[in-house]
Amino acid sequence: MSTGGKLIVFSAPSGSGKTTIVRHLLSKEDLNLEFSISAASREPRGDEVNGKDYYFMSTEEFKKHIKNEDFLEWEEVYRDNFYGTLKTEVERIWAKGKNVIFDIDVSGGLRIKHKFPEETLAVFVKPPSVDELKRRLKERSTESDDKINMRIAKASVELATAPQFDEIIKNYDLPVALEEAYQLVKNFVGKK
């Protein structure tokens, strides 16, 4: 895979606000960003659209892509529940002369950083607390309590990886976090 632009990785436990931050950055034309759409081996939820929110595929299809080494990174998040980044997705964005921004889980984010250390800015978004995380996930009311508890357990593990990232943004105050994220990315994409 040839390198083109920069790779901007935002990772965090579910409910930390990383998606809100990524959407904000995508609205800033001066950053020249395009969102990397992940592949997922699950059905669309709510009003999710194939090719916009995710590339939805069957578990069999996903496993075939793994075998063919089509992924930049992938993970089995829960049993037979896969997420990953197709190499063709990054190449598609680079071919347009844009920088790639990822809203991705912690292990996927670190894998991308490991593969492209020079081209990648890896940012960890830290929630105010695990209790606040639980409150935000419950507020979404898209998942069962069991699923929320699984996410909370995973969050504790993910929080421990924060020091492995280039930068940590504490999302205690959203406007402050958005500005901090913008400045970090602006400085990074401006580097030659």
Binding site for ATP, residues?
Answer: 12-19
Please check whether residue 18 is in contact with residue 169, taking contact to mean a CB–CB distance below 8 angstroms: no
CA within 13 Å, CB half, 92? 11
C-alpha count within 13 angstroms, C-beta hemisphere, residue 58:
3
Amino acid at 159: L
Q: Give the residue ranges of the annotated binding site.
A: 12-19
22 contact partners, CB below 8 Å, separation of at least 6: 10, 35, 101, 103
Helix (H, G, I), strand (E, B) or coil at 114: helix
* Three-state SS at 17: coil
